[in-house]
Amino acid sequence: MIKLKDVSKSFNKQLILKNLNLEVKKGESLVIIGRSGCGKSVSLKHMIGLVRPDAGSVLVDGTDISTLKSEELDRMRLKFGMLFQGAALFDSLTVLENVGFQLFEYADMAFVQIKRRVSECLGMVGLQGIENMKPAALSGGMKKRVGLARAIIMSPEIILFDEPTTGVDPVTGDVINKLIRHLHNTLKTTSITVTHDMKSAYQIADRIAMLYDKQIIGIGTPDEIKNSKNPIVKQFINGDAEGPITQGNGSRF
């Protein structure tokens, strides 16, 4: 469904991704793990065409999205929902207008209907009665959940989640994990989730891919990853300070 082929990308002459290959199958839930700053958000942005690769190609349903014109890209993006790491809610709009953005823009729906649908989506992420608030008045975790509601409102085929459970309490985190799983089971969405949280990764993933040193170094089912022989993967999922990732400079005490 989505295929990154030999993608290379650099920012300010610094190479972030190098010949990265990754395939996401239709209907699967893929989790990408990796250290902070290794390029997870950048690879997610490649999939929806926000970032264009310097070399290589990104295929969505077989079409190379870097060749699309902007209107075609806009049309293709209707298939996608995306939750940004920083939520990226529109400051000037209320929660209702944020979550219902696409309905107000494209759907031929009455205001009451939109309002009902927005409340329903907010309910799914455990929020209610905040429709008329502005994003500036929300807490970090609430913003994240509003962003999540905005990403799922059109029931898109593909959803990209950038750290959906970071910054929310463990209970809400579990609600979000269950929600992702639920969307996946009921709507057959393809979802790609970036996370640091191994517990949530095991819970939502069909497959887990680890990004390290500009490439995918390991990919497999949660069990395969848990039993991986690769020392880098092992160190990461166990969260050790000592190991090949840190190469002797992990602990300085």
Partner 1 sequence: MRIKRLIKIFVQKTLISAKTWLEDCFKYIGGLFILLAQTVVGIFSARPRKRQVLEQMNKIGVASFPIVFLISFFTGIVLALQSAYQLTQMSAEMYIASLVALSITRELAPVLTALIVAGRCGAAITAELGTMKVTEQIEALETLSANPVEYLVTPRFIAMIIMVPLLTVYADFFGIAGGYLIGISKLHITHSMYMKMTWDPLSVKDVMTGLIKSVSFAAIICIISCYEGINSQGGAEGVGRSTTSSVVRSFILIIIADCFFTGLFYFVAH
Strands 29-34 and 55-60: unpaired
* Of the candidate residues 66, 85, 230, 235, the single one contacting Mg ion (CB under 5 A): 85
Verify binding: residue 82, partner 1, rule CB under 8 A: yes
Question: Residues 24-63: x/- map of binding to ligand ATP (CB under 6 A)?
Answer: ----------x-xxxxxxx---------------------
Residue 223: half-sphere exposure toward Cβ, Cα within 13 Å: 0
φ, ψ at 8 (rounded to 5°): -120, 140
Q: 9 vs 118, which CB is nearer to ligand ATP?
A: 9
- Binding of ligand ATP by 85 (CB under 6 A): yes
What is the DSSP secondary structure assignment for residue 66, as one 8-state letter?
Answer: G
In the complex, least distance from residue 10 CB atom to ligand ATP, rounded to whole angstroms: 9
66 contacts Mg ion (rule: CB under 5 A): no
- Encoded amino acid at 152, one letter: I
Smallest distance, Å, CB 133 to ligand ATP? 26
Closer Cβ to partner 1, 88 or 133, answer by number: 88
- Of the ranges 16-24, 83-91, 119-127, 186-194, which one interacts with partner 1 (CB under 8 A)? 83-91
Task: Give 180 or 237: the residue with its C-beta nearer to partner 1.
Answer: 180
Distance between CA atoms of residues 234 and 239, nearest Å: 8
Length of the chain: 253
CA 214 – CA 199 distance, rounded (Å) = 24
Query: What order of strands is seen across the sheet that includes strand 63-64?
Result: 14-24, 2-11, 55-60, 63-64
Q: How far apart are CA 206 and CA 203, in angstroms?
A: 9
**Which token pair is 147?**
């962003």
The span of 50-58, 77-85, 166-174, 175-183 binding Mg ion (CB under 5 A) equals 77-85
User: What are the CA-CA distances from residue 7 to residues 46, 179, 197 (Å)?
Assistant: 9, 31, 26
**50 touches partner 1 (CB under 8 A):** yes
Q: Which does 50 bind (CB under 5 to 8 A by kind): partner 1, Mg ion, ligand ATP, none?
A: partner 1
Binding site for ligand ATP (CB under 6 A): 11-12, 16, 34, 36-42, 85
